[in-house]
């Protein structure tokens, strides 16, 4: 069965995520929008969420074919996420996939980080991922299938190059969470992986001028910034039948920035 599904997927007989329902957080951001387009192109039914409804509605309009749900929630709120999961399942069918892409990056030296800054970073980067996993994993485990992709960062693997220890700690937490949940969910054939982007050309990178972008891009072996679509491609791989033996993995999509 695995071999047949993989052959059909490679042959393009069926779209990579045909018939799957996938929840995406941070859908209104630079990488999130690219993932939303990729999910729809791969044939998934997509449930989009972010903090504000307006950008989600605009994005849903670009993807429209009746298989899209867009609802603003604070993804760090477990009750709100659970309700969004239930709404998604009712509208689009049982949830087969989750991409936790919500996050925030703020440059600040350790001695300037107060409790509020720590709370902001841990909430946006780690607790959104926790709430998403709490909402979807019980159903996936009960049905014996499903895949979760958590968006980490090179900062979580190697420490942050710009001063942002609160961000690095939160993303390191995402990686530890990913590997632990991969162990707990594997008996049910549910997979939990992470994508770890290097510098990607979005507003979230906080590199605004051409000089700032060039410096960030120069840290990769290709000498350029990554594009959001290049992160989206890795997410699709980790959700689709081509990666059924991959779990607990941190897929580096960083242009060789850190080997
Ligand atoms: N751009 C990069 O260079 C880069 C590098 C490594 C990792 N990442 C990670 O990739 C992900 C996307 O980054 P991006 O560059 O697209 O940033 P972005 O700022 O464009 O998008 C992040 C989105 O997350 C949303 N969000 C934040 N907190 C939320 C919450 N509590 N509930 C719901 N939504 C929330 C924001 O509203 C925003 O739309 C983030 O997790 C980021 O840490 C980005």
Q: Give tens-digit pLDDT for 167-195.
A: 999 999 999 999 999 999 999 999 999 99
Query: 76 in ligand 1 pocket by Cβ < 6 Å?
Result: yes
In a domain, 195, yes or no: yes
| pLDDT score, position 66 | 62
**Residue 183 belongs to a domain with what CATH number?**
3.40.50.720
- How far, rounded to the nearest angstrom, does the alpha carbon of residue 221 sit from its chain's CA centroid? 24
- At 14, is the pLDDT very low, low, confident or very high (cuts 50, 70, 90)? confident
Q: Please check the confidence at residue 17 and state whether its pLDDT lies above 70.
A: yes
Mean pLDDT along residues 18-32: 97
Residue 52 CB neighbour total at 10 angstroms: 9
Domain limits at 171? 37-44+95-251
In a domain, 56, yes or no: no
Domain count, the chain: 1
Q: Please check the confidence at residue 65 and state whether its pLDDT lies above 80.
A: no
Torsion angle in degrees (nearest 10) through CA of 243, 245, 248, 251:
-40
CA nearest ligand 1 atom 38, residue: 29
Query: 31 in ligand 1 pocket by Cβ < 6 Å?
Result: yes
In a domain, 140, yes or no: yes
In a domain, 1, yes or no: no
- Tokens 């920035």, located at residue: 257
First to last CA, the chain: 35
Q: Which atom of ligand 1 is nearest to the CA of 231?
A: 10
Q: What is the pTM of this model?
A: 0.97
| pLDDT score, position 125 | 98
Handedness of CA 207, 209, 212, 215 (dihedral sign): positive
Query: 230 in ligand 1 pocket by Cβ < 6 Å?
Result: no
In a domain, 174, yes or no: yes
Dist. CA 13 → ligand 1 center (Å): 33
In a domain, 71, yes or no: no
Mean pLDDT along residues 106-125: 98
CB 117 within 8 A of CB 106: yes
């Amino acid at each position: 069965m695995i071999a047949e599904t993989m052959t059909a997927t490679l042959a393009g007989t069926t779209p990579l995520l045909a018939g799957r329902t996938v929840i995406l957080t941070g859908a209104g951001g630079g990488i999130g929008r690219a993932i939303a387009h990729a999910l729809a192109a791969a044939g998934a039914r997509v449930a989009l969420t972010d903090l504000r409804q307006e950008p989600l509605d605009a994005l849903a309009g670009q993807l429209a074919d009746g298989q899209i749900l867009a609802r603003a929630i604070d993804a760090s709120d477990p009750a709100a996420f659970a309700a969004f999961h239930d709404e998604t399942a009712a509208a689009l069918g049982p949830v087969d996939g989750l991409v936790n892409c919500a996050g925030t990056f703020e440059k600040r030296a350790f001695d300037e980080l107060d409790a509020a800054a720590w709370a902001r970073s841990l909430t946006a980067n780690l607790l959104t991922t926790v709430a998403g996993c709490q909402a979807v994993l019980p159903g996936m485990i009960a049905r014996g299938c499903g895949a979760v992709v958590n968006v980490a960062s090179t900062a979580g693997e190697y420490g942050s190059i710009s001063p942002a220890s609160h961000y690095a700690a939160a993303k390191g937490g995402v990686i530890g969470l990913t590997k632990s949940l991969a162990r707990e969910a594997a008996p049910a054939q549910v997979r939990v992986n992470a994508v770890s982007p290097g510098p990607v050309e979005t507003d979230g990178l906080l590199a605004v001028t051409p000089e700032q972008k060039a410096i960030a891009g120069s840290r990769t072996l290709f000498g350029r910034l990554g594009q959001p679509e290049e992160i989206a491609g890795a997410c699709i791989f980790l959700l689709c039948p081509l990666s059924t033996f991959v779990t607990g993995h941190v897929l580096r999509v960083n242009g060789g920035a850190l080997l």
